[in-house]
Chain A
């Protein structure tokens, strides 16, 4: 089999989809899978049906892992929260992401460990989103005791395949978040301790804060917000109008850290290490933790995790001097993400990320072969047609998903990506250079700041021009 991992991943995903559609009980699925497992072991090695049975086992494993992901522990905060109703209760736990101050509220995700209602304490587990009115300086890994009200963000959320349109509540459900906690004042959030998160995670968030400080110190608020989004995936500084305008032109992917940004970071790491004449093996060892740090810094969203795993798989193949296979690397990334959390299959970010990669590695070479662009004589024309095909392949494959989830079709996306993606690459590079220059010496930033401001301004102008073209985009409802 040429791409064994691809087939295994496809079949594993089919198992998840079937389980989501037919709501198979865990016990039934597990019994069936265990029986199948025994049958495979009892079968003679040379039986020609053995491989089919192995693939059936992969299918059942997908179904069982999805089924298991839907089962919550008896001590989950969700059940305790339902008992509490809307009365004030206390929850102890630690912060697992970087707290954000936005719209007068400090919000973060808390991993709960203790729940207290009417002086009766209980151990618990599970994540919840906390919103504290006002600003409170907190860090990832801080242990907190919070007093507030628990609230459900939704009622009767659907998961997996559902006829109802999926919304933010379903997204939270698939992330394992079932409750919000509203804390009225910062004083009701008591810090009991620190450093609960892993060292790498804490280091990544500290680094992120440092980079953000430099970006906001050196640039105007608008340019800083956009560069912050491009470099670190932090969208808090992007004005909603610009964000919506980029959604219309189909270029909003540059404001969320994706494979594109991870690619730039990897190229940057390797080139800078190469400049210092560092040995290939050492370069590889140094790049590994740096890639992980960047992945954590940007919140480890699906596209970033996908790109990081793919880079690691391809990097290992290169290091071990083995043949690299982009399809197997992509499948390995999908399989790893789904093995940890099968519900991610229904996440919009996961779907768009993998579909666009498939478009670039499969559809683009096919189109290139069909049009036979190598025969074109002018190099500029080859380059232009090539770029057009890349943009077109990604658009054609993702258009259906975007139309379904966002109710929008943007024919201008192909043209917009041709102009905006190179510009975004330049801005991301300028962002990283600015941070590096600031750390080396402040005066080095003098020339970089105007360049970054100009590039961001150009990006906004080009985007608004493209969106204003007739039939640039239209809504389906």
Chain B
């Protein structure tokens, strides 16, 4: 009664294996936070944490030079922590286009 063609069987097995793998990862990530961090790509992946970044890291962002990186670090030291990226828009030398580029490359935890 149940006879699959070779292609059908391969397709079903492939889909089943993938869904089984997905279910396993989903289950583990619900139970264990480290698995979630490992398995799920965060929206902050590839970005720099503005509260932890050193001068060299800040300088690697397009549009941010030596002086601006220094100003950001000084501002951070003064306020002890940056809570919102919008706070930086008031910094001298950080015009609108530079701020937009900065926003795309950094995040606030």
> Chain A: residues with CB nearer than 8 A to chain B?
1, 4, 7-8, 26, 30, 33-34, 37, 40-41, 45, 50-52, 54-55, 57-58, 61, 64-65, 68, 71-75, 339
Contact = CB atoms under 8 A, between A and B. Distances in A.
A123 to B, nearest CB: 10
Interface size class of B (residues with CB under 8 A): 20 to 34
B16 A37 contact: yes
A104 to B, nearest CB: 35
Interface of B: 2-4, 6, 8-9, 12-13, 16-17, 19-20, 23-24, 26-27, 29-31, 33
Given A26-B27, A64-B23, A68-B26, A8 B12 contact: yes
Top 9 nearest A-B pairs by Cβ distance? Answer: A73-B30, A51-B2, A68-B23, A68-B27, A51-B4, A71-B30, A57-B16, A61-B16, A4-B8
B2 A55 contact: yes
A26 B12 CA distance: 22
A61 B20 contact: yes
Given A61-B20, A74-B33, A30 B9 contact: no
B13 to A, nearest CB: 7
B26 to A, nearest CB: 6
Contact of A65 (B8, B23, B30, B33): B23
A19 B50 CA distance: 48
17 contacts: A1-B8, A26-B27, A30-B20, A34-B20, A41-B13, A45-B6, A50-B9, A51-B3, A51-B9, A52-B2, A54-B12, A65-B23, A68-B27, A73-B30, A73-B31, A74-B30, A75-B33
Given A30-B27, A58-B16, 12 more contacts: A4-B4, A4-B8, A7-B2, A30-B24, A37-B16, A54-B13, A61-B19, A61-B20, A61-B23, A65-B23, A71-B30, A71-B31
A1 B12 CA distance: 14
Contacts of B17: 37
Contacts of B24: 30
Given A74-B30, A74-B31, A37 B8 contact: no
A65 B33 CA distance: 21
A340 to B, nearest CB: 11
A1 B4 CA distance: 6
Contacts of B16: 37, 54, 57-58, 61
Contacts of A52: 2
B27 A71 contact: yes
Nearest to B24: A30
Contacts of B27: 26, 30, 68, 71
Given A54-B12, A74-B30, A1 B3 contact: yes
Nearest to B30: A73
Contacts of B3: 1, 51
B20 A64 contact: yes
Contact of A33 (B2, B13, B20): B20
Contacts of A30: 20, 23-24, 27
Interface centre among A37, A45, A72, A73, by most chain B C-beta atoms within 10 angstroms, is A73
Contacts of A4: 4, 8
Contacts of B2: 1, 7, 51-52, 55
Contacts of B26: 68
B20 A37 contact: yes
A58 B12 contact: yes
Contacts of A50: 9
A64 B33 CA distance: 21
B45 to A, nearest CB: 17
A65 B24 CA distance: 9
Nearest to A8: B12
B95 to A, nearest CB: 23
Contacts of B19: 61, 65, 339
Contacts of A58: 12, 16
A4 B16 CA distance: 15
B86 to A, nearest CB: 11
Nearest to B31: A74
Contacts of B12: 8, 54, 58
Contacts of B30: 71-74
B39 to A, nearest CB: 13
B17 to A, nearest CB: 6
Contacts of B31: 71, 73-74
Nearest to A45: B6
B23 A54 contact: no
A6 to B, nearest CB: 12
A242 B101 CA distance: 57
